[in-house]
Amino acid sequence: MTQYVYAFSEGNRDQRELLGGKGANLAEMTNLGLPVPPGFTITTQACRSYLAAGSEPGELRVQVTMALRRLEDDLGRQLGDRHDPLLVSVRSGAMHSMPGMMETVLNVGLNDASVKGLTEESGDERFAWDSYRRLLQMFGKTVLEIDGEIFAGALDDAKAAQGVDVDVELSVESLRDLVATFKAVILDESGSPFPQHPREQLDLAIRAVFDSWNTERARLYRRRERIPQDLGTAVNICTMVFGNMGDTSGTGVAFTRDPASGHGGVYGDYLVNAQGEDVVAGIRNTLSLADLKNLDPSSYKQLLQVMRRLETHYRDLCDIEFTIERSKLWMLQTRVGKRTAAAAFRIATQLVDENLITLDEALERVDGAQLAQLMFPRFDGAAEKHLLGKGMGASPGAASGYLVFDSATAEKGAAEGKDVILVRKETNPDDLGGMIAARGVLTSRGGKTSHAAVVARGMGKTCVCGFSELEVKDGAATVDGRVLREGDLISIDGSSGEVFAGEVPVVASPVATYLESGLGTAVKDIDEDTADLVRAVDRLLSHADSIRRLRVRTNADNAQDAVRARHLGAQGIGLCRTEHMFLGERRVLIERLVLAPDRATRQTVYDELLPLQRQDFVELLTAMDGLPVTIRLLDPPLHEFLPDRTELSVKVAVDRATGQVDEDEERLLAAVERLHESNPMLGLRGVRLGLVLPGLFALQVRAISEAAAIVKADGGEPQVEIMIPLVGSVMELFLIRDEADQILRAVQEEKGVALTIPIGTMIELPRAALTATRVAEAAEFFSFGTNDLTQTTWGFSRDDVEGGFFATYLDRGVFMVSPFESLDVDGVGRLIRIAAQDGRRTRPDLKLGVCGEHGGDPESIHFFHRVGIDYVSCSPFRVPIARLEAGRAAV
């Protein structure tokens, strides 16, 4: 029989796949002897079976009964008993944390009879009725899918009727009335009365949690976070403990270090006389843990002890949810906590300094996406700003945009290409679409652990929360008497929490500036806090450098980018695209080349191009002196350098109609027509161009070798490599090589210098990969052009699909992420493996690189490491990210 139910004491933290993150950690804490209310977990496998079959597996009911009875026997109380009721919480808990995405029902087991038993046992009638109304509210919304606003509205009405501001001030009578109202709402909206039978409540709540796996917002969240859609969620059934039993009770969340900055010291929010979701939902403003110290020193002390134990056990920042019931501390959840990018770097190095983890482990605690975030620009300190006020910096970054008040408007604005800032009183999971669409999120309520803060941090989205001076009401916001309306410009600083009116210019981040300085000189100009962060980044990057096997080069085609990339740690150029050298003023030369009637005329153009190209390469080789520079010969179809066909046709037609025939223009149009292709990406480009247009590649090879000779004569150490694009057959390569080798020999003789210039090829076509054994006969290196290789393997046009049908493909789960963004390991990756292995069979010292966009993508880099690639090449900004990921891949 499959085991679908595990008591907390049966599991452990390594069972996240089966028990979900929450269940696995509850089990771990139970086994550590921490004060966890007893309970059990229904596995993700049960959820998957339920979702597949549309009903629970038969054994599940039986196993739940057994687990429940054991729980009841241990506690000496029964679920929903009329005298001393056992109540339970039912919470979702998937393998990957999905904050606020799924469902929770508390106080299951309460009904018209057991509410009286709870009153007797607790001696607190108000508490009992408050618990009952919470059950009705959560059950109605979550299990019966009744609009939550109806309950919230009735709660507001009850407060207004009694003339109080917050729910804890509601009297027993008001709560009793509210229970009656909620029951009527349930009957009206669902057509059936609220189920009084405790087991029926439990079974329905379990189902609701299973179903919550597939809500629209949960699917959207997973798509964004690249979490597979078929994992399912576990369900945790846990004995209720009550934070709403008066002023000696409460509930809170805490972090063992500050998850926003990474600085040491415990951090958290606490709400007196409150239950479960009140804190995370950010509904009331919270107290800090320091306040708890004054309120309940003994629970506070115990909480600190538990936090220290958890940190020692997990050797990482932990976040926890706890409840204090009449001065007794209970742990409801823990996990290795989410954190900002800065906090991740700081905490990883702190833990090394505290001898809790090794440097290798520290490297695993950070990633390239976090480093990218730290390199983002921020607001210009010198710019004129109009400060509206300050909330809490919940997720760093700097964002300016048009203000919108709801998720739908945010999505619409973003679809129109506008930068928008989503402003809400507080967010809830229904705002997810708007949060994704917005540049930043601003809320007037809630702390750093509110829904808005947690979700924004997870997304790396700028967020300021708890900006309490801002009153958000009726589609407008008021701060300090100033009214802000939809469409007004606003700027938010997710580090400082500052909110500004209007747009504020942004500047480079200190981390990026430091990294670009290459020598650490920028450190002295920044405050100690930032310097501390920069040191943490530098330390982990240096460690990555010391252990990585993959080298990191850059894609650059001018000296300026080359210098920048070199400072950022590039170990050469992996791809210099030469087409950019034929644009601007030089475009006319290409026109003349295309129009040339014979070889001699073409040669005059080459003669003019030669010194220009040579100078380009001298500059590039000088900037990268001593490091390899791979120059790719011209790749794109020639028509890309010519005027647009339609525009030129119209012009010629107009000229003809007005009798102003221009011979040159006519000839140009004829050439444009001749070169026109329906499918230019599969047409006359790359090596084909070199074979069809005599002299073109020869010119480039000459310019490259002469440039190398000049730099060498000047005392430099040029290490240039020539790369032939879009090769499909070794024959193409042999033909080009023949010509190139002759030129290389000639230049060496003419200049009297010895040059070593390897000639290699790009692998961009499946045929090249599949015939790599042969291709390697004529290539001294391979560089995988994964952009074209993805395009040609899938048969997707890389220029068209991303805005087109990819949205549907991502939605329908054909892939989780665009294969142009992260390498399709199964298909394109297989070709790379084959080419790498076969190529090296022919030529054991064959050097292998990757120069498509995937060279800077973290996940792809790990794959390239695994298949024995020698280097990746990426844009200058991504070089540090690739260094870090290459180090992480080597751990």
To ligand PEP, the closest distance from the beta carbon of 313 in angstroms equals 46
Stretch binding Mg ion (CB under 5 A), from 46-54, 147-155, 171-179, 763-771: 763-771
Would you call 465 a catalytic residue per the annotation? Answer: no
Distance of CA 3 to the CA centre of its chain: 35
The footprint of ligand PEP on residues 705-764 (CB under 6 A) is 764
Stretch binding ligand PEP (CB under 6 A), from 296-304, 386-394, 785-793, 799-807: 785-793
Burial of 30 (0-12, 13-18, 19+ CB in 10 A): buried
**What does the longest C-alpha to C-alpha distance in the chain come to?**
106
Q: Does 534 bind ligand PEP (CB under 6 A)?
A: no
**633: DSSP letter:** P
To ligand PEP, the closest distance from the beta carbon of 438 in angstroms equals 31
To ligand PEP, the closest distance from the beta carbon of 855 in angstroms equals 8
Cα dist. 6→105, 139, 234, 336, 556 in Å?
Answer: 20, 24, 11, 22, 56
Q: Decide whether 135 or 634 has the Cβ nearer to Mg ion.
A: 634
Which residues 6+ apart lie within 8 Å of 425 measured at CB? 443, 444, 445, 472
To ligand PEP, the closest distance from the beta carbon of 787 in angstroms equals 3
Stretch binding ligand PEP (CB under 6 A), from 224-232, 442-450, 784-792, 811-819: 784-792
Bridge-based pairing of strands 573-577 and 628-632 is parallel
Which residues 6+ apart lie within 8 Å of 523 measured at CB? 514, 531, 534, 535
- Three-state SS for 494? coil
- Select from 190, 196, 748, 787 the one that contacts ligand PEP (CB under 6 A): 787
577 binds, among Mg ion, ligand PEP, none (CB under 5 to 8 A by kind): ligand PEP
Nearest to 320 by CA among 256, 389, 230: 256
Q: Does 824 bind ligand PEP (CB under 6 A)?
A: no
Q: Decide whether 561 or 635 has the Cβ nearer to ligand PEP.
A: 635
Would you call 451 a catalytic residue per the annotation? Answer: yes
**Cα 60–62–65 angle (5° rounding)?**
110
Q: Does 788 bind Mg ion (CB under 5 A)?
A: yes
**Which tokens go with 570?**
């590039």
Contact 285, 277 (CB under 8 A): no
Stretch binding Mg ion (CB under 5 A), from 276-284, 354-362, 478-486, 762-770: 762-770
Burial of 558 (0-12, 13-18, 19+ CB in 10 A): middle
Q: What whole-number distance in Å separates Cα of residue 417 and Cα of residue 451?
A: 26
- Select from 413, 510, 690, 785 the one that contacts Mg ion (CB under 5 A): 785
Q: Decide whether 305 or 797 has the Cβ nearer to Mg ion.
A: 797
**Order of strands across the sheet with 392-395?**
386-390, 498-501, 489-493, 398-404, 420-424, 440-443, 462-465, 392-395
To ligand PEP, the closest distance from the beta carbon of 726 in angstroms equals 8
Q: What whole-number distance in Å separates Cα of residue 500 and Cα of residue 387?
A: 4
For residues 568 to 597, the per-residue mask of contacts with ligand PEP, x marking binding by CB under 6 A and - elsewhere, is: -------x-x--------------------
Q: Decide whether 421 or 823 has the Cβ nearer to ligand PEP.
A: 823
**Cα 699–705–710 angle (5° rounding)?**
120
Stretch binding ligand PEP (CB under 6 A), from 151-159, 705-713, 780-788, 876-884: 780-788
The residues that bridge with 547 in the sheet, in sequence order, are none
Q: Does 162 bind ligand PEP (CB under 6 A)?
A: no
For residues 708 to 747, the per-residue mask of contacts with Mg ion, x marking binding by CB under 5 A and - elsewhere, is: ----------------------------------------
Q: What whole-number distance in Å separates Cα of residue 673 and Cα of residue 650?
A: 13
Cα dist. 728→268, 660, 736, 798, 850 in Å?
Answer: 60, 46, 13, 19, 17
Range list of H helices, 315-367: 341-353, 359-364
Q: 862 — phi, psi (to 5°)?
A: -65, -35
**580: DSSP letter:** G
706 binds, among ligand PEP, Mg ion, none (CB under 5 to 8 A by kind): none
To Mg ion, the closest distance from the beta carbon of 762 in angstroms equals 6
For residues 290 to 329, the per-residue mask of contacts with ligand PEP, x marking binding by CB under 6 A and - elsewhere, is: ----------------------------------------
- Per DSSP (E only), the strands in 69-171 are 78-79, 85-86, 88-94, 104-108
Which residues 6+ apart lie within 8 Å of 679 measured at CB? none
Q: What whole-number distance in Å separates Cα of residue 760 and Cα of residue 177?
A: 81
To ligand PEP, the closest distance from the beta carbon of 532 in angstroms equals 38
Q: Decide whether 217 or 798 has the Cβ nearer to Mg ion.
A: 798
The footprint of ligand PEP on residues 833-852 (CB under 6 A) is 851-852
Q: 838 — phi, psi (to 5°)?
A: -65, -40
For residues 620 to 659, the per-residue mask of contacts with ligand PEP, x marking binding by CB under 6 A and - elsewhere, is: ---------------x------------------------
Stretch binding ligand PEP (CB under 6 A), from 197-205, 398-406, 590-598, 783-791: 783-791
Which entry of 47, 318, 851, 874 is annotated as an active-site residue? 851
User: At 628, which amino acid appears?
Assistant: P
To ligand PEP, the closest distance from the beta carbon of 723 in angstroms equals 10
- Select from 493, 557, 788, 870 the one that contacts ligand PEP (CB under 6 A): 788
To Mg ion, the closest distance from the beta carbon of 764 in angstroms equals 5
Stretch binding ligand PEP (CB under 6 A), from 192-200, 513-521, 671-679, 779-787: 779-787
Stretch binding ligand PEP (CB under 6 A), from 91-99, 134-142, 709-717, 782-790: 782-790
**Which tokens go with 329?**
């501390």
To ligand PEP, the closest distance from the beta carbon of 682 in angstroms equals 12
Q: Does 785 bind ligand PEP (CB under 6 A)?
A: yes
Q: What whole-number distance in Å separates Cα of residue 604 and Cα of residue 822?
A: 45
Q: What whole-number distance in Å separates Cα of residue 874 and Cα of residue 885?
A: 13
Q: Decide whether 124 or 788 has the Cβ nearer to Mg ion.
A: 788
Q: 760 — phi, psi (to 5°)?
A: -135, -170
To ligand PEP, the closest distance from the beta carbon of 887 in angstroms equals 24
The footprint of Mg ion on residues 381-410 (CB under 5 A) is none
Separation of first and last alpha carbons in the chain: 40
Q: What whole-number distance in Å separates Cα of residue 891 and Cα of residue 881?
A: 16
Question: How many residues form the binding site for ligand PEP (CB under 6 A)?
Answer: 10
User: At 302, which amino acid appears?
Assistant: Q
851 binds, among Mg ion, ligand PEP, none (CB under 5 to 8 A by kind): ligand PEP
Which entry of 47, 238, 451, 576 is annotated as an active-site residue? 451
| Residue numbers at the binding site for Mg ion (CB under 5 A) | 764, 785, 788
| Residue numbers at the binding site for ligand PEP (CB under 6 A) | 575, 577, 635, 764, 785-788, 851-852
So which residues are the catalytic ones?
Answer: 451, 851
